[in-house]
Chain A
Amino acid sequence: MKRMTRIIPLATGLLSAALLCTQASAETAFVSNEKDDTLSVIDLDTMTVIETLDVGERPRGITFNHDRTKLYICASDSDTVQVMDLKDYSIIAQLPSGEDPEQFALHPDDHHLYIANEDDALVTVVDTESQEVISQIDVGVEPEGMAVSPDGQWALSTSETTNMVHWIDTATHELVDNTLVDQRPRHVEFNKDGSIVWVSSEISGTVSIIDVDSRQITDKLTFKIRGIHPDKIQPVGVKLTDDGRYAFVALGPANHVAVVDAKTYEVLDYLLVGRRVWHMDFNSKQNLLLTTNGISGDVSVIDIDKMKVIKSIKVGRYPWGIRIKS
C-alpha cells in the first residue's frame, strides 16, 4: 500500500508534466474570416479548428503583441482595431483606428501600431497603451500594405491606386520618400536584417525588391505557371524565412504559392493551394507555412522541408489574415 501511495503522486506528476509539455509544444493558428466576422483557431498538432470566436465586423489584418499575449484585429467595417486577450479570448479593448483599417504593423517598441486606412488615404499611428491616435499621415490613394522595419526606423505603406511605397520616418511621423512600384501594390515585407523590402504588385503580377538604403528597386520577380493564364497570377502576401533561404509569394487567384530562392530571386517551385490565396504565416520552427485561401474558405499547410502542401483545413468564409502562436 505504501508503495502505491508513492506511485500514484509520481504517476500524477509525470502525467501533468507530459500534459504541460504537450501544451507547451502545441501551436495555434488564428485566422480572420472576413465574411463571417469570426476568428478560427487551428491546433497545429491535430490540424483541426478547435474554436471559432466572434469578433468585430469584417476582420482582416491580425497581429500579435511581442510576448504574444494579445492579438490585434483590424475589424474593418467596425472601424476599429480590437484587442483580444489570448488567455480567455475576450476582447479587452477597441482601439481608435481611423476608417476601414485593413492591414497594420506593430513597431518593435510594442506599443505603436501603424494602421493603413484604405478609404481615407491615411496611415494612423495608435498608441496601444494610452489607446490614443498619435498621428495621421497622408499617403497615396487606397493604402493597404503596412510594415515596420526591424530596427523601427521606417514604417512603410503601399497605396494600391497611386502604386507607391511610402516611407514614413517613425521618429517624426513624416512622409520622407516614395518609391514607384508596379500596379496595385498589396503587401510589403522586410527581410530579417531590414536591408531589403519585398513589395508585391497584384495587377502587374510582379514582386519588386527594394534596397532600403537607396530606396530603389534592385530586382523584379515575375511568375509563370503552366496551364494558368498570366492575368490570374496576382501576388499578394509575401513571407521570408529567417535563415534568408526562401521567400514565399501568395499568387491570389492563381491558387498557387511561389517558392523563391531569397538570395538569387529564382522561382524554385509553385505549390497548389486553395482558391485565391492571400496571406501566410510560419510556425515557430519555420518548417510549416500556413496560407489563407479566401474563396475556398480554407487554410493550406505547406511542409517546408518537403516543399509540399500536406493538408487543407476548412475554416470560415473568406479567410484573410493569419498568425501562428507558439
Chain B
Amino acid sequence: MTLRAALICFNGLLQRELLRFVQQRSRFFSALVRPLLWLVVFASGFRAALGIAIIEPYETYITYEVYIVPGLCAMIILFNGMQSSLSMVYDREMGSMRVLLVSPMPRPFLLLAKLMATSLISLLQVYGFLLIAWFWGIEAPLLGYLTALPAFLLVAMMLSAIGLFISARIKQLENFAGVMNFVIFPMFFLSSALYPLWKMREASEWLYWICAWNPFSHGVELIRFALYQQGNSEALMIVSLVTLVASVLAVRGFQPQQGMGKR
C-alpha cells in the first residue's frame, strides 16, 4: 500500500461521504435543528440554573446556554457518527459495501478511512452549529475554536468507532431504532452534556458513577476544555483509549458477508 494509493482511496471515501452529506440536506438540517432546539428552547428555561458554582474550565459564572454548547457539539458528533456507521448496515444490505471492499486496500484501512471521512463531515456540522450559537451570543475564546478542532476529531473518531463496532453486530437495518433507544439516548443523557457531574451526584450517587464512567462524558469534557484553550489529560487519555479499543474491535468484528448472508 503506497501513500499515494492510500490518499486516493481516502479521497474517494471522503468524496462519497461529502456527496451523501450534500445530497441528504435534510439530514444536515435535522442534525442542526436538534441541538439548536436544545440551545434555544431547553437551555433558555434553565438560563440562570447554573449561575451558582464555578466549574473548570470556566473562570467565572456561566449561563446554562454556555454550559450546554460543548455537550451539544458532542451530540451532533454522536448522532452523525452513529448514523454514518450504522449506514454501513444499509450499505451492506444494498450491496454497495461489496463495491468498497473490492478495493485492493486492506480492509482495516478502508474502515478507518471511512471513520475519518465521517468524522470530518461531523466537523462541518459542529462548526455550523457553533456559528449559529455565536450569533445567539454564546462565544468561546476565538482561539478556542481552533484548539477544539483536534478534540472534535478525536471524539468523532471515538464515536464512529463505537458506532462501527455496534453496526458490526447488527444484522438488519430495522435494529437502528433499538440502537437509538439503547445506545445513543443513554449515552447522551447519562453524561456531563446536559448537567455537570456534581449536579448528578446531588441527585444520586449511582447515577453520578454511570455518568463518570460513560466515555461520552469524557468526550464532552475534552471538547469543553479544548474550546476554552485548556487541556484535560484524563479525558484525553480515556477518549484515546476507547477510540483505540473500539477501532480494533470494530475492524476485527466487521463481517461484510453478514448482511448478504441473510438474503
Contact = CB atoms under 8 A, between A and B. Distances in A.
A274 B47 CA distance: 15
A310 B59 contact: yes
Interface string B34-60: 000000000011011001101000011
B47 A227 contact: yes
A300 B48 contact: no
Contact of A226 (B47, B54, B62): B47
B125 interface: no
Interface in A306-323: 309-312
A264 to B, nearest CB: 22
A255 B51 CA distance: 8
B48 A273 contact: no
Interface size class of B (residues with CB under 8 A): 10 to 19
Contacts, number: 36
A255 B59 CA distance: 16
A272 interface: yes
A226 B137 CA distance: 14
A162 B44 CA distance: 39
Interface of A: 226-228, 255, 272-275, 296, 298, 300-301, 309-312
A298 B47 CA distance: 21
B103 to A, nearest CB: 51
B134 interface: no
Contacts of B61: 255, 272-274, 296, 300, 309, 312
Interface string B162-181: 00000000000000000000
Contacts of A296: 52, 61
B60 A310 contact: yes
Contact of B48 (A228, A274, A298): A228
A300 B60 CA distance: 7
A310 B54 CA distance: 12
A49 B54 CA distance: 17
Contacts of B45: 227
5 contacts: A255-B61, A272-B51, A272-B62, A300-B61, A309-B61
Contacts of A226: 44, 47
B60 A227 contact: no
Contact of A312 (B47, B54, B63): B54
Given A226-B47, A227-B44, A227-B47, A273 B52 contact: no
A310 B139 CA distance: 13
Interface of B: 44-45, 47-48, 51-52, 54, 59-63
A274 B54 CA distance: 9
Contacts of B63: 272
B203 to A, nearest CB: 22
| Complex A-B, nearest 6 residue pairs according to Cβ-Cβ distance, in ascending order | A227-B47, A312-B60, A311-B59, A309-B60, A227-B48, A272-B61
Q: Is the interface of B mostly helix, strand, loop or mixed?
A: loop
B230 to A, nearest CB: 14
Contacts of B48: 227-228, 255
Contacts of B44: 226-227
B142 to A, nearest CB: 11
A194 B25 CA distance: 62
A5 B52 CA distance: 59
Contacts of A298: 54
A8 to B, nearest CB: 40
Given A312-B59, A312-B60, 10 more contacts: A226-B47, A227-B47, A272-B51, A272-B63, A273-B61, A296-B61, A301-B60, A309-B60, A309-B61, A310-B59
Nearest to A228: B48
Contacts of A274: 61
B126 to A, nearest CB: 24
A42 to B, nearest CB: 14
A296 B60 CA distance: 12
A301 B61 CA distance: 11
A1 B51 CA distance: 63
Contacts of A309: 60-61
A301 B63 CA distance: 16
Nearest to B46: A227
A300 B54 CA distance: 11
B60 A273 contact: yes
A319 to B, nearest CB: 15
A275 B61 CA distance: 10
B186 to A, nearest CB: 29
Nearest to A255: B51
A275 B60 CA distance: 12
B52 A275 contact: yes
A51 B54 CA distance: 22
A255 B52 CA distance: 9
B60 A311 contact: yes
Contacts of B59: 310-312
A31 B114 CA distance: 58
Contacts of B51: 255, 272, 275
